[in-house]
Copies of this chain bind each other. A is one copy, B any other.
Amino acid sequence: MQGHDFYEKKKVLITGGLGFLGSNLAIRLVDLGASVTLYDGLIPDLGGNFFNIEPIKEKVRPVTANIGDRSTMDQHVRNQDIIFNIGMHSCHLDSMENPVFDIQTNVVPQINFLESLRHHNPRSRVVYVGTRAQYGRVENPPITETTPLNPMDIYAASKQAVEWYHMLYGKICGLRPTSLRLGNTYGPRHQMRHAKYGVQNYLIRLALDGQQIQVFGDGSQKREMIYVDDITECLLLLGENDQCIGEVYAIGTTERVTFLELVQEIIRACDSGSYTHAPWPEDRKQIEVGDVVTDYGKLSAHTGWSPSIPLSQGLKITADYYRRNKEHYW
């Protein structure tokens, strides 16, 4: 990992700051000497959790308000050196059940947020966290930044639109955006109450509770699992690197596992749990994207990033974290 001196004394705003990615990033930024504001809408069922920032609670400014609430956001975007825009729902199934929820949570507030920037910090650096799902099911792997866009659910379509909106605010007001199209991630501080998103994290809960994990179909679809510290490192690199302005990045791992192997690895790391095969439920089958294989060459070339935490190690740290802090996540 690099030194990241860049962040010392920098003013940093994180939307979704009490969630999984936001809180892990905040802990690292505090360590680097940044002045950190955590903005979070605490929308029910999403990942916002004050326990996530327990180690840094005296050293950050939490703001709980909706990202689209201009009366609050307008104040907080002023004078920020860099903004990590992570605060969105990420539930594929909910977006298909309730598309209005998706638009009202991930699209409308984002436009209001961008308007806050336009009027109060028009040229700010913004790192937007997009999703690998913007590519959907991919005909010709590996995935790169030029893979055709093929969102398979409302969530993914909206995330792509909001990525475009970020880039277009470059023309509108000089905004300096970067987008990271993030795939499956895992680690401490994820929400663990339901399997609606970040399902691989929920599997860790099932294993820790000694329960049986359902593997839909034969579980042979390939997955890239990125440990949260590797994502934090990536976000820091993107934020400090001017070459990344106006660019989008795909991210992946060199270590690939099938879904079945992932489940077996989780059971090993937790030292409990079991699995069984089950047929695909119709709603999940409709939005299943198949194998995930990414070429993250552009990201490496521009930032030097590569994944550093092997799956077995990351899962052990993760299982240990939740074992110790179960009451805050279960």
Tell me if A100 is interfacial: C-beta within 8 Å of chain B.
yes
A111, closest chain B residue (CB): B103
A155, closest chain B residue (CB): B168
Output the residue of A115, A154, A161 with the most chain B CB within 10 A.
Answer: A161
Choose, from A145-153, A213-221, A270-278, A314-322, the stretch at the interface: A145-153
User: Nearest chain B CB to A98's CB is how many angstroms away?
Assistant: 9
Interface size class of A (residues with CB under 8 A): 20 to 34
The answer on a CB contact under 8 Å between A107 and B114 is: no
Among B114, B146, B158, B168, contact of A153 (Cβ-Cβ < 8 Å): B168
The answer on a CB contact under 8 Å between B148 and A96 is: no
Tell me if A172 is interfacial: C-beta within 8 Å of chain B.
yes
When all copies of this chain in the complex are counted, the total is: 2
A114, closest chain B residue (CB): B99
A171 — which chain B residues lie within 8 A by C-beta? 96, 153, 286-287
The answer on a CB contact under 8 Å between B151 and A148 is: no
- Report if A103-B99 is in contact (Cβ < 8 Å); known contacts: A160-B161, A161-B157, A165-B157: no
Tell me if A72 is interfacial: C-beta within 8 Å of chain B.
no
Binding site of A, secondary structure by majority: helix, strand, loop or mixed?
Answer: helix
Tell me if A6 is interfacial: C-beta within 8 Å of chain B.
no
* Residue-wise interface mask of A (230-273) relative to B, using a CB-CB cutoff of 8 A (1 in contact, 0 not): 00000000000000000000000000000000000000000000
The answer on a CB contact under 8 Å between A107 and B96 is: no
Tell me if A64 is interfacial: C-beta within 8 Å of chain B.
no
Output the residue of A114, A160, A164, A165 with the most chain B CB within 10 A.
Answer: A164
A112, closest chain B residue (CB): B100
A136, closest chain B residue (CB): B164
User: Nearest chain B CB to A102's CB is how many angstroms away?
Assistant: 8
CB contact list, A73-103 vs B, under 8 A: 96, 99-100, 103
The answer on a CB contact under 8 Å between A157 and B146 is: no
Output the residue of A111, A146, A152 with the most chain B CB within 10 A.
Answer: A111
Among B103, B148, B153, B154, contact of A108 (Cβ-Cβ < 8 Å): B103
- Report if A172-B100 is in contact (Cβ < 8 Å); known contacts: A148-B148, A158-B161: no
Q: Which residues of A contact B (CB under 8 A)?
A: 96, 99-100, 103, 107-108, 111-112, 114-115, 146, 148-149, 151-154, 157-158, 160-161, 164-165, 168, 171-172, 286-287
Query: Which 5 pairs, one residue from A and one from B, show the smallest C-beta to C-beta distance?
Result: A161-B161, A157-B164, A103-B111, A171-B286, A157-B161
Given A99-B172, A148-B148, 12 extra CB contacts under 8 A = A99-B111, A100-B115, A103-B107, A107-B107, A107-B161, A151-B168, A153-B168, A153-B171, A154-B165, A154-B168, A161-B161, A171-B286
Between-chain CB contacts (< 8 Å), 25 pairs: A96-B168, A96-B171, A99-B172, A100-B111, A100-B112, A100-B115, A103-B111, A107-B107, A107-B161, A108-B108, A146-B148, A149-B149, A151-B164, A153-B171, A154-B168, A154-B172, A157-B164, A157-B165, A157-B168, A158-B161, A160-B160, A160-B161, A161-B161, A171-B286, A171-B287
